[in-house]
């Protein structure tokens, strides 16, 4: 049965709980343990699928088709363990399950209450898969003291109480603010946030303290004494140059040792940190720099394309080069010629997206990349834009467009080369959906396989002709245009196993032009860069040598 580590946060939000959890997971793996990471979010949305990227950053999709919090992306990037639907849960999902059971009569007419019905639902959820790993790391979103987080904290209190002693620990992350006037780090907010935890019956075993300044021994002792934590378990979390430094940095400060001590595991297995030493070596010993433009809609907010930014960094690591990403607002090219803006870049990427806004600008960016022979990677909507560009400018379908935009505008303005998918095959059954389905549930989501054409550029890059990648979209390229588009040089080099859905397009007569219907960025890791991103950055390096 798994041991449980609960990770909570105090004082302020955005302290990097997700990163700390992911790094701790990586460190436990380095000591030979198996781990699973989980996120419990107090918000009332049933899942983040319908939340705006402005609100909540990217939606991370799992193999089993769940739309989850972007923290699950961190978990996967640090541990390589594929997250599941059951690794992300919100209050909304918990309440929705409880209410569904109530309507079904499962509670036999009882009065339904937060305690025990909601807390029991949370505890049941925590136990899923407990026999599969050595450690289950459960991060609670938000900050201790938030009203909406209370049912989770109460459920955890009960869970710890019900388990045999020594099977659960609590790690609390806080901030030590620095007062420049007195030149001091202040410990009081941390003391208060631990008090807050204690008032609901929880006591931290390990404290992880974010600080911009070195934490003097005297302050550590004070925190240990007043927060009732051993002084070796008061761990500093200093600011990092890159997130991938976290495992080595936290290890140096003694985080994993403190966690194993708290469980009474002695002697602790020795860690093997070569994976992370290699990652850091690649990051710190990079030569040169390539510039990549991401032409998209949510450019003000890096988190909206978190996994793409990370996958490009991994691609840089594979080539020992730095990748400088710049976000370019697609709408700009609806008014202006893209050439002066895009010429300084060694590669162009059009990411996934929803809705018509900015698409004409993205099509201009594709045209620029195709005609100027600049490496181009189109992801999901970015692939659809590449198809529309070829259809309009080479195949004579001058009013080519996507049904998505006509559907939004409520009229018919385009010849749809991208159409709404009404049914598709998943495993060995057919899924059927209508446009009018709930926004939350009408997409092709999760892992699907594709056959790659032998001899194609993608088959060479993957070194395989069978692949599996994650999807999140409603619309598909219309296969009936295949011959016409291929005659213009846009090859359909990846197709779904039933031969019906185009998964990849590429242009042979171009240094690097690939569009994919799926999201390769979701599977890239610093220690295993995704082949498409590694090769895309390689092509950018080549382009940078030409200028």
Q: Which residues contact 424 (CB under 8 A, 6 or more apart)?
A: 430, 431, 444, 496, 500, 501
Q: How far is the CB of 424 from ligand GLN (least distance, A)?
A: 12
Nearer to ligand GLN, 138 or 304 (CB): 304
Q: Say which of 310, 380, 469, 503 is annotated catalytic.
A: 380
Binding site for ligand GLN (CB under 6 A): 352-354, 380-381, 404, 472-475
Three-state DSSP class for 396? coil
- Summarize the chain as % helix, strand, coil (round to 5): 40, 25, 35
DSSP string, 282-327: HHHT--SEEEEEEEES-TT-GGGGHHHHHHHHHHHHHTT-EEEEEE
Residues 383, 516 contacting (CB under 8 angstroms): yes
Question: Which H or E run contains 175?
Answer: strand 168-175
Q: How far is the CB of 471 from ligand GLN (least distance, A)?
A: 8
Look up 245 and say whether it is catalytic.
no
Residues 256, 250 contacting (CB under 8 angstroms): yes
Q: Say which of 154, 506, 521, 530 is annotated catalytic.
A: 521
Lookup result for tokens 């809705």: 355
Residue 7 has φ and ψ, to the nearest 5°, of -115, 120
Nearer to ligand GLN, 298 or 345 (CB): 298
Q: Say which of 251, 473, 519, 530 is annotated catalytic.
A: 519
Q: How far is the CB of 474 from ligand GLN (least distance, A)?
A: 4
Q: How far is the CB of 380 from ligand GLN (least distance, A)?
A: 3
Cα(328)–Cα(334) distance, integer angstroms: 12
Residues 50, 148 contacting (CB under 8 angstroms): no
Residues 156, 201 contacting (CB under 8 angstroms): no
Question: Judging by DSSP bridges, how do beta strands 376-379 and 347-350 pair with one another?
Answer: parallel
Nearer to ligand GLN, 119 or 359 (CB): 359
Cα(94)–Cα(546) distance, integer angstroms: 56
Nearer to ligand GLN, 277 or 408 (CB): 408
Q: How far is the CB of 298 from ligand GLN (least distance, A)?
A: 12
Nearer to ligand GLN, 17 or 473 (CB): 473
Look up 429 and say whether it is catalytic.
no
* Residue nearest ligand GLN, Cβ-based: 352
Cα(298)–Cα(377) distance, integer angstroms: 18
Longest dimension (CA), the chain: 76
Look up 251 and say whether it is catalytic.
no
Q: How far is the CB of 500 from ligand GLN (least distance, A)?
A: 15
Nearer to ligand GLN, 42 or 515 (CB): 515
Q: Which residues are tagged catalytic?
A: 380, 519, 521
């Amino acid at each position: 049965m798994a041991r449980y580590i609960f990770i909570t946060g105090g004082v302020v939000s955005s302290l990097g709980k997700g990163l700390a959890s992911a790094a701790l997971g990586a460190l436990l793996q380095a000591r030979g343990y198996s781990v699973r990471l989980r996120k419990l979010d107090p918000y009332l949305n049933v899942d983040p699928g319908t939340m705006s990227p402005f609100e909540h950053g990217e939606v991370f999709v799992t193999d089993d088709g769940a739309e989850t919090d972007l923290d699950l992306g961190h978990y996967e990037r640090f541990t390589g363990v594929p997250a599941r639907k059951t690794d992300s849960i919100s209050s909304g999902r918990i309440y929705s399950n409880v209410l569904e059971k109530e309507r079904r009569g499962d509670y036999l007419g009882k009065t339904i209450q937060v305690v025990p019905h909601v807390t029991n639902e949370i505890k049941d959820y925590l136990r899923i898969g407990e026999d599969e790993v050595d450690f289950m790391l459960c991060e609670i979103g938000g900050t201790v003291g938030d009203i909406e987080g209370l049912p989770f904290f109460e459920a955890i209190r009960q869970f710890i109480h019900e388990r045999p002693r020594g099977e659960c620990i609590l790690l609390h992350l806080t901030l030590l603010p620095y007062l420049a006037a007195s030149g001091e780090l202040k410990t009081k907010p941390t003391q208060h946030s631990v008090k807050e935890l204690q008032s609901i019956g929880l006591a931290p075993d390990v404290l992880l303290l974010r600080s911009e300044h070195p934490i003097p021994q005297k302050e550590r002792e004070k925190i240990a004494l007043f927060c009732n934590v051993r002084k070796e378990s008061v761990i500093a979390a200093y600011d990092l140059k890159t997130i991938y430094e976290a495992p080595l940095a936290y290890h140096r400060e003694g985080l994993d040792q403190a966690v194993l001590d708290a469980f009474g595991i002695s002697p602790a297995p020795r860690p093997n940190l070569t994976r992370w030493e290699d990652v850091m070596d690649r990051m710190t010993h990079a030569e040169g720099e390539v510039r990549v433009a991401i032409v998209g809609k949510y450019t003000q907010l890096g988190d909206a394309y978190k996994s793409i930014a990370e996958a490009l960094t991994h691609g840089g690591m594979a080539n020992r080069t730095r990748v400088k990403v710049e976000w370019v607002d697609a709408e700009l090219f609806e008014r202006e010629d893209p050439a002066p803006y895009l010429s300084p870049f060694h590669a162009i990427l059009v990411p996934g997206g929803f809705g018509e806004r900015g698409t004409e600008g993205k099509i201009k960016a594709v045209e620029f990349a195709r005609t100027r022979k600049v490496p181009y990677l189109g992801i999901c909507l970015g692939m659809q834009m590449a198809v529309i560009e070829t259809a309009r400018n080479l195949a004579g379908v001058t009013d080519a467009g996507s049904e998505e935009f006509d559907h939004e505008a409520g009229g018919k303005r385009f010849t749809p080369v991208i159409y709404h998918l009404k049914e598709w095959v998943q495993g060995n059954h057919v899924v059927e959906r209508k446009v009018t389905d709930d926004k939350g549930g009408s997409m092709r989501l999760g892992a699907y396989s594709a056959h790659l054409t032998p001899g194609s550029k993608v088959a060479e890059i993957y070194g395989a002709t069978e692949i599996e990648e994650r999807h999140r979209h409603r619309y598909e390229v219309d296969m009936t245009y295949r011959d016409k588009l291929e005659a213009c040089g846009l090859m359909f080099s990846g197709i779904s196993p039933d031969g019906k859905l185009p998964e990849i397009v590429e242009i042979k007569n171009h240094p690097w032009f690939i569009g994919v219907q799926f999201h390769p960025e979701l599977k890239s890791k610093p220690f295993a860069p995704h082949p498409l991103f590694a090769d895309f950055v390689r092509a950018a390096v080549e382009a940078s040598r030409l200028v």
